[in-house]
């Protein structure tokens, strides 16, 4: 009988967005692939899909039911490996796997950015840190995706194996630069002019993503870069608040609130710069996708942005209140073509060097192979 692996996350579209190459990899090794998450999406490379009522809120009553279902599935299927993702998916799966681990199941958890980090609110440390500290003892391998989390985990957690892997990877065949003609045609198809200076940011509208800073930067830019347009993709609780702020600042005609989009790949590749305003990130995929398209990045300082954006190499990282400095860097990219071109070339080269899907699959596969026979062989460094 084939060996079985269970992937678990809060919602199933997490796998659709980030992990299909890894589901495929296990199928190619002859394993039976199971997925447990909230949602009824059909996923490729999956033998069995479980729709489980995992909720994002730690206080939701349905999480008790989800925990019981996960524990039953693990007892019933005798998985060799459980790989869990997302805060609640990772929490419930590791709790449910305690008995299974005694029978030999190996539990891997990928932390896509701890909620507690340098500069995080005290409430985050009080709520999330004790949970992760305790769950570390129920984890055979903890995978981190940035250096800050890796160092913190090594210092504070007692997980036997802690690894640093470069995110989930970017498909550099899909996310790639457009030729000038292709870019012109793409802009035309979306209703933009060839000489528009397009700033792009795709993120949920919430306080952490901090889109208000980008609107303030647009107010500064409107005099010196009149062709600047800000494209904001996403939905969320601060959507209306940001639209009101755009009106108040007199930039509403320069900002496009695009809502939910399923054509991010086409949109980002036609833009001039990604303006990333979030206050906390693990290792943002949207930034890596833009870099793969040779798009420069101007970003607010946080651990994920620092990992990806190097000053004067592929963009700049600035402090969270530096509206004027943020605008100045955008203005430089808009007005100095050589700067934009150099930053863009460097951005793609950085992705090709270590963040491409092929590179990251090799890193993760070395971790998987350590546990695929149920053994405890030494985990060789994958950093």
* Whole-number pLDDT of residue 115: 76
pLDDT in tens, 31-86: 999 999 999 999 999 999 999 999 998 889 999 999 999 999 999 999 999 999 99
* Whole-number pLDDT of residue 41: 95
* Whole-number pLDDT of residue 127: 77
The stretch 187-209 carries a mean pLDDT of 96
* Whole-number pLDDT of residue 217: 97
Closest CA to 267 of 294, 231, 292, 239: 231
Domains and CATH numbers, the chain: 4-169+356-371 (3.40.50.2000), 180-355 (3.40.50.2000)
Share of the chain above pLDDT 70, in %: 97
pTM of the model: 0.89
Measure CA of the first residue to CA of the last residue in the chain; give whole Å.
34
* Whole-number pLDDT of residue 374: 60
Cα torsion 244, 249, 250, 256: sign: negative
pLDDT band at residue 375 under the 50/70/90 scheme = low
Residue 257 parent element (H or E) = strand 255-259
* Pairing outcome for strands 141-144 and 106-111: parallel
- Average pLDDT in the chain: 93
Closest CA to 335 of 189, 221, 177, 246: 221
* Whole-number pLDDT of residue 261: 92
């Amino acid at each position: 009988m084939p060996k079985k692996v269970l992937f678990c996350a809060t919602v199933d579209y997490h796998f659709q967005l980030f992990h299909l190459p890894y589901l495929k990899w296990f199928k190619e090794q002859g394993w039976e692939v199971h997925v447990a998450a909230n949602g009824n999406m059909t996923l490729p490379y999956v033998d069995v899909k479980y729709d489980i009522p995992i909720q994002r809120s730690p206080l939701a009553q349905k999480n008790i039911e989800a925990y019981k279902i996960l524990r039953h599935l693990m007892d019933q299927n005798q998985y060799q490996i459980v790989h869990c993702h997302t805060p609640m998916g990772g929490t419930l799966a590791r709790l449910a796997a305690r008995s299974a681990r005694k029978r030999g199941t190996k539990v891997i958890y990928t932390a896509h950015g701890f909620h507690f980090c340098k500069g995080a609110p005290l409430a985050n440390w009080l709520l999330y840190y004790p949970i992760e500290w305790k769950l570390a003892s129920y984890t055979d391998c903890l995978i981190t995706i940035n250096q800050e989390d890796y160092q913190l985990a090594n210092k504070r957690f007692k997980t036997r194996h802690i690894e640093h892997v470069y995110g989930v990877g970017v498909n550099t065949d899909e996310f790639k630069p457009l030729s000038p003609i292709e870019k012109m045609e793409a802009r035309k198809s979306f209703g933009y002019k060839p000489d528009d200076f397009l700033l792009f940011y795709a993120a949920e509208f919430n306080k952490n993503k901090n889109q208000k800073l980008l609107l303030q930067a647009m107010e500064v830019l409107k005099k010196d870069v009149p062709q600047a347009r800000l494209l904001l993709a996403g939905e969320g609780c601060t959507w209306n608040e940001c639209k009101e702020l755009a009106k108040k600042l007199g930039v509403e005609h320069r900002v496009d609130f695009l809502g939910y989009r399923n054509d991010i790949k086409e949109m980002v590749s036609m833009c001039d710069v990604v303006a990333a305003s979030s206050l906390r990130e693990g290792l943002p995929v949207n930034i890596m996708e833009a870099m793969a398209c040779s798009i420069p990045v101007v970003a607010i300082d946080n651990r994920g942005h620092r990992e990806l954006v190097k000053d004067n190499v592929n963009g700049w990282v600035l402090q969270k209140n530096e509206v004027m400095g943020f605008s100045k860097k955008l203005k430089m990219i808009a007005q100095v073509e050589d700067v934009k071109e150099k930053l863009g070339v460097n951005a793609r080269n950085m992705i090709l060097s270590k963040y491409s899907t092929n590179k990251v699959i090799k890193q993760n596969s070395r971790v998987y192979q350590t546990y695929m026979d149920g053994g405890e062989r030494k985990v060789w460094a994958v950093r």
